[in-house]
Amino acid sequence: MDPACLLTHPMTHPDTTHTLAARYEQLRQQTRALAEPLSAEDCQIQSMPDCSPVKWHLAHTTWFFETFILSRFQPDRAPFHPDYRMLFNSYYNAIGARHPRPQRGMLSRPPLDDIWRYRDATDDAMRALFDRMAGVDAAFDQLVELGLNHEQQHQELILTDIKHALSLNPLRPAYAPLAQGSSSTVTPPGWIQYEGGRVRIGHEQTGFSFDNESPAHDMLLRPFHLADRLVTQGEYLAFILDGGYQRADLWLSLGWDRVCAEQWQAPLYWEEQGNDWQIYTLRGMQALDPQAPVAHVSYYEADAYARWARARLPREAEWEHAARQMRTGSGLTTANLLENGQLHPVAAVSRPAPVTDPAQMFGDTWEWTCSAYDAYPGYAPPAGAVGEYNGKFMCNQYVLRGGSCVTPASHIRATYRNFFPPEARWQFSGIRLARDA
């Protein structure tokens, strides 16, 4: 199978051995497993308006199936609880009222146990529907697919949000026990050359994708170079030591304002202790590994680093073009999957020259591009409430590509467009350099 083709499709995609129902079961179980190491108190807390409590994520992903599927295909079914429609609505104005986002952490009731019951009851109802509808009604299949992809997004958020919440605790508690680190030697960064020209961008809709990946379209690219691996923590440290956070000339104007206002001195989760740097991870505090990719930088920091390094961030079309060109496979290995439980990006493996494909394209860190998040030519959001999924957020955000170490493997694809405001740092967001050829 052509790897480019692979990558424009879900990596683990529906086939005869993975029915929709089976994937539903597996994925819902994965979500439950993510909450396993956490107490009810851990699942309660919300550390900032951008983050949600884990309990809320568990409920909201269930709400999605109940609201968009059960209430449509089984309209006579009584909702699990009449207030949940409002409590666990995230941002769908078409669904009606919703609990204010910054107040999600105040919902000590319903208790976590009720949410588990909510999940069980919803899963039971979904199972009954699967028997009747799967493969029968295309709308049903599509909405389930959307719900599964939606839940995968929240799987990642469960980890990034609880990481942020726990990091505010002076005890710096770990989500999971310390793993054995495997630091490999990193080779100096190199460049991969691309000719550009007329290239194809966007999802061809031969499998599931989000609306914002379409329509597929052609565009023109100038020749460019893409770094053959991510920027490492050691390289980023050199930027810090060179006064990167003190030199206004390296920063976007808004970025410099932010550096000054928030007194940023390093990426999120970096703590200077004497002469050393410690990094807070989901496995607790760890010494800085100079070979591992830098993560938890904002767009502003990624952009400033690139300027300091006399390079730039890639355009999202450049990144996607390179991803679809991969000749040696997708680069997704067991080393960088949520599924392997590493929970932190790891150093790239040395490769013998000549290197023809960039490494660490998938599943290490989300890679900031310099492309503002906007609508592809001809884009139109779907009708109804699910039309609020993506389109209304196309303002003052930047596209990130590639997936991180806590993105489910089957959720990663070359056309996938993640997006965050330029000041966001609590995702596993890192840096790949580009430059004009």
Using CB under 8 A, list all residues that contact its own copies.
Answer: 39-45, 47, 55, 83, 86-87, 91, 93-94, 99, 103, 105-112, 165-166, 168-171, 173, 198, 217-222, 248-249, 251-255, 299-300, 315, 370-372, 374-375, 377-378, 388, 392-396, 422, 436
Q: How far is the CB of 437 from its own copies (least distance, A)?
A: 10
DSSP class of 66: I
Q: How far is the CB of 103 from its own copies (least distance, A)?
A: 6
Q: How far is the CB of 254 from its own copies (least distance, A)?
A: 5
Q: How far is the CB of 214 from its own copies (least distance, A)?
A: 13
Cα gap 232→348, rounded to integer Å = 9
Nearer to its own copies, 7 or 107 (CB): 107
Nearer to its own copies, 182 or 246 (CB): 246
What 3-state DSSP class applies to 190?
coil
What pairs with residue 271 in β-bridges?
278
Angle, CA of 233, 52 and 166, to the nearest 5°? 50
H helix or E strand, kind and range, residue 280: strand 276-281
Q: How far is the CB of 137 from its own copies (least distance, A)?
A: 26
Nearer to its own copies, 5 or 380 (CB): 380
Sequence-separated (6 or more) residues with CB below 8 Å from residue 254: 300, 422
Start-to-end Cα distance in the chain? 31
Nearer to its own copies, 127 or 222 (CB): 222
Nearer to its own copies, 73 or 389 (CB): 389
Cα gap 75→103, rounded to integer Å = 30
Residue located via tokens 């409920």? 59
Nearer to its own copies, 113 or 131 (CB): 113
Please say whether the beta carbons of 411 and 361 come within 8 A.
no
- Give the residue from 399, 406, 407, 408 showing the smallest Cα distance to 432: 399
Q: How far is the CB of 422 from its own copies (least distance, A)?
A: 6
